[in-house]
Amino acid sequence: ALYAFTDCEINISPNCCIIEDDKPHFLTVSDVLRISTDRTKELLRLELEIEKQEKQEALLFASLEKI
């Protein structure tokens, strides 16, 4: 409390401004992290699905070659 009434006690609002649908939206850092994490998880899920399909096709072709 040494700086209770000095310039050292300044409240900073850590809000972020993002552009979505050509409009600014002000979000908290927690919201930005949550949105970013959700998007990253979705992209990784899609990439894994593509890789899974490629592996299944390779397995199918390998089994057809054996026949």
CB-hemisphere CA count at 13 Å for 49? 6
Q: Which tens digits make up the pLDDT trace of 5-53? A: 676 767 777 788 989 899 999 999 899 999 999 999 999 999 999 999 9
Asked if 17 and 31 count as a contact pair (C-beta separation under 8 A), the reply is no
Query: Domain spans of the chain?
Result: 15-66
The pLDDT of residue 2: 62
pLDDT of residue 48: 98
- 8 A C-beta contact, residue 40 and residue 32: no
Instruction: Please name the amino acid found at residue 55.
Output: K
